[in-house]
Amino acid sequence: MRSKLVKILVSILAVILLGSCDNKHQRAVRSPEFVFFYAENQDKDYPTTLGGYKFSELVEERSKGRIKIIVQPDSTLGCEKEVMEQLQFGGIDFARISLSTLAESVPQFHVLQMPYLYTSSEHMWKVLDGEIGDNFMKSLEGSNMVALSWYDAGARNFYNSVRPIHSLEDMKGLKIRVQESTLMVHMVEALGAKAVPLVYSDVYSGLQRGTIDGAENNWPSYESTNHYKVAKYYTIDEHTRVPELQLCAQATWNKLSAEDREMIQACAKESALYERTLWIEREKQSKERLSQSKVEVIELLPEEKARFQQAVKKVYEIYCADYMDMINAIIVEGR
Ligand code: GCU
Lowest-confidence segment of 1-5, 135-139, 160-164 by average pLDDT: 1-5
Distance from residue 200's CA to the centre of ligand 1 (Å): 6
Q: Which of 38, 40, 41 should be mutated for ligand 1, with most atoms under 8 A from CB?
A: 41
Count of other CB atoms within 10 angstroms of residue 57:
14
Q: Is the pLDDT of residue 25 over 90?
A: no
- Count Cβ atoms below 10 Å from residue 181 Cβ, excluding itself: 22
**DSSP state at residue 236:** E
Residue type, 24: K
74-127 pLDDT, tens digit per residue, is 999 999 999 999 999 999 999 999 999 999 999 999 999 999 999 999 999 999
The dihedral formed by the CA atoms of 156, 102, 311 and 177, expressed in degrees to the nearest 10: 60
Q: Whose CA is nearest to atom 5 of ligand 1?
A: 200
Residue 5 has pLDDT above 50, yes or no: no
As a whole number of Å, the end-to-end CA separation of the chain is 95
Is the Cβ atom of 179 under 6 angstroms away from ligand 1? yes
Q: What is the mean pLDDT of the chain?
A: 93
**Cβ atoms 149, 272 nearer than 8 A:** yes
Interval 152-206: pLDDT, tens: 999 999 999 999 999 999 999 999 999 999 999 999 999 999 999 999 999 999 9
Beta bridge partners of 196: 177
Quick one: which atom of ligand 1 is closest to the CA of 225? 7
Q: Quick one: which atom of ligand 1 is closest to the CA of 199?
A: 13
What is each CA distance from 116 to 68, 174, 218, in whole angstroms?
40, 21, 14
Residue nearest to atom 10 of ligand 1 (CA): 200
Residues whose CB is less than 8 angstroms from the CB of residue 317 and which lie 6 or more positions away in sequence, other chains included = none
Cα atoms in the 13 Å half-sphere on the side-chain side of 174? 28
CA of 147 relative to ligand 1 center, distance in Å: 18
| The pLDDT of residue 6 | 44
Q: How confident is the model at residue 7 (pLDDT cuts 50, 70, 90)?
A: very low
334: pLDDT strictly greater than 80? yes
For residue 150, pLDDT beyond 70: yes
Which of 38, 185, 221, 239 has most ligand 1 atoms within 8 Å of its beta carbon, as the pocket-test mutant? 221
Other Cβ atoms less than 10 A from the Cβ of 4: the count is: 8
The pTM assigned to this predicted structure is: 0.91
Cα 46 to chain centroid distance, Å, stands at 11
Q: What is the pLDDT of residues 270-300, one digit of tens each?
A: 999 999 999 999 999 999 999 999 999 999 9
Query: Measured between alpha carbons, how far is 171 from 155 in angstroms, rounded to an integer?
Result: 19
